Homo-oligomer: A and B are copies of this chain.
Amino acid sequence: MSGPDRDTQANRALRALRDRIFDGTITGGARLYEVALSETLGLSRTPLREALGRLEQEGLVDRAEGGGFMVRRFSFADVVDAIELRGVLEGTAARLAAERGADSATFARMRAVVTELDSAVPGDPRALRFDRYVALNDEFHALLAVLCGSTVIRRELERATGLPFASPSAFLAVQEEVPAFRRSLGLAQAQHRAAVEAIGRREGARAEAILREHAQIARANLEYVLAEDRRLIPQVPGLALVKH
C-alpha cells in the first residue's frame, strides 16, 4: 500500500487521539503527557510525537509553554467563527470559479450532484433519503474546493473544514432530527442550485454571497441546539469537545 494513509503506528496514534478528543475522553485543555499516552496507546513516543504534530496541524492540539502539547479548548464562539470562515472561503472558491471559469469536468459533475440532491430532498420531507443527502452534500462541497483549480484555495478550504464542527455536513444530523429544520434542507438545496447557476453565468459576486449565506444555515442550527435542545449536542460531530 502506498500513499499518506498507510497503516503506520503514527497513523494509528493519530486516529486514536482524534477519536478520544472528539468523543470527549480527552477533554479540552488537558495536557498530553507523552510517556503516559504512549503506554496507553501501546506504541513508542516517536510515532506518538509525530501524531501530535499532525494534530497540531489539524488544530485539535496546541503546543504548551515550555514544551509539550495540550488539547485545544473551543468555545461556541469559536464554532461560530469556524462556520463563518468556511462561508468566507467557500464563497471565495465559488467566486473564483465564476471569475476564472470552472473546470468543466468538475463543474459537470457538480451539476449532476445537484440534480441527484433534488431526488434526495423530495417535496414531502417524510420521504427524505438522509444518508444519500449527506453523501451528495459532502461531494458538492468537495467539488467546490476543487472547482477553480487553485491549490492554495483548496488546501485552505480543506484545512478550515477539518475541524469536525466546521465540516459542511456537521449539523445535518440536527436537521434530520428536528422536524422544524427539515425544511431548511430544502433551502440548502436551493442554494446549491443557485450557486451552480451563478458560477455557470460567471456571476462571481452572487456565487460568493450564496455560499456565505449557505454556511449560515449551520450557524442557525448551532444556535437552535444551544438555545432549544442541548440534548442534540452529542449528535453533532466534535461539539462534545466544545466547553460549555
Contact = CB atoms under 8 A, between A and B. Distances in A.
Interface residues of A, number: 34
Contacts of A81: 150-153
A194 to B, nearest CB: 21
A213 interface: no
Contact of A49 (B50, B84, B85): B50
The SS class assigned to the A binding surface is helix
A56 B59 contact: no
Given A53-B50, A96-B84, A59 B150 contact: no
Nearest to A152: B81
Contacts of A65: 2-4
Contacts of A57: 56-57
Nearest to A163: B152
Given A54-B53, A57-B57, A152 B82 contact: yes
Interface in A99-128: none
A85 B157 CA distance: 11
A92 interface: yes
A88 B92 contact: yes
A152 B4 contact: no
A118 B49 CA distance: 48
A3 B64 CA distance: 8
Nearest to A153: B81
A25 interface: no
Interface in A119-156: 150-153, 155-156
A63 interface: yes
Interface in A46-71: 46, 49-50, 53-54, 56-57, 59, 63, 65-67
Nearest to A149: B77
A49 B46 CA distance: 10
A78 B149 CA distance: 10
Given A2-B65, A92-B88, A96-B84, A156 B152 contact: no
13 contacts: A3-B66, A46-B46, A49-B50, A53-B53, A53-B54, A56-B57, A59-B155, A84-B92, A85-B92, A85-B153, A85-B156, A88-B92, A156-B156
